[in-house]
Amino acid sequence: MEEYLKLKNLHSLFERNFFLLNSLVVDFDENKKKVFEIPIKDENKKVSISSTKLSNYTFDIELNININPVEENTIFKVRVYLEAKMAEVISLQSFHNNLIDIIPTIKKFGFQRDERTQWNKFLNEFLVFCSKEGLAESDNLPARFQ
């Protein structure tokens, strides 16, 4: 029963991540790159989202976060299942403490037994943060009508 509850909670997390990602990406079918900024310690840092179509109902989304110019970018690779309305992290590269500075959390990342759950919970918090705090990149703003 305990394993069933863990799986149910994980699927619920995948579904929440799908809807949050869908609100940022809007249309998975188009292979467009979306760039926006998030405020981190008095500076705006770029986040880019690009998608790759694997099949009619499956996409890989890459969230590339440029936090610190000295360190490698942090990259979430997320597999999106359109029919199931789920999104799960399949890879997280260059995870470091600067990311934890973005999102105040009581979770102790890096100390949980289940890394898969940990990555997906962090993606969820990051997507919520992007939805609330994300800013359009100033270079991409449309001109005002005269």
Helices (H) then strands (E): counts for the chain: 3, 6
pLDDT by residue, tens only, the chain of 146 residues: 677 778 888 899 999 999 999 888 767 666 678 888 888 777 888 888 888 888 989 999 999 987 766 677 888 899 999 999 999 999 887 665 455 555 555 555 544 557 788 889 989 998 998 888 877 655 544 444 33
Q: Which helix (H) or strand (E) holds 116?
A: helix 115-133
Q: Which helix (H) or strand (E) holds 12?
A: helix 2-25
- pTM for this model (two decimals): 0.76
Report which of 55, 75, 63, 69 is spatially closest to residue 20, judged by C-alpha positions: 63
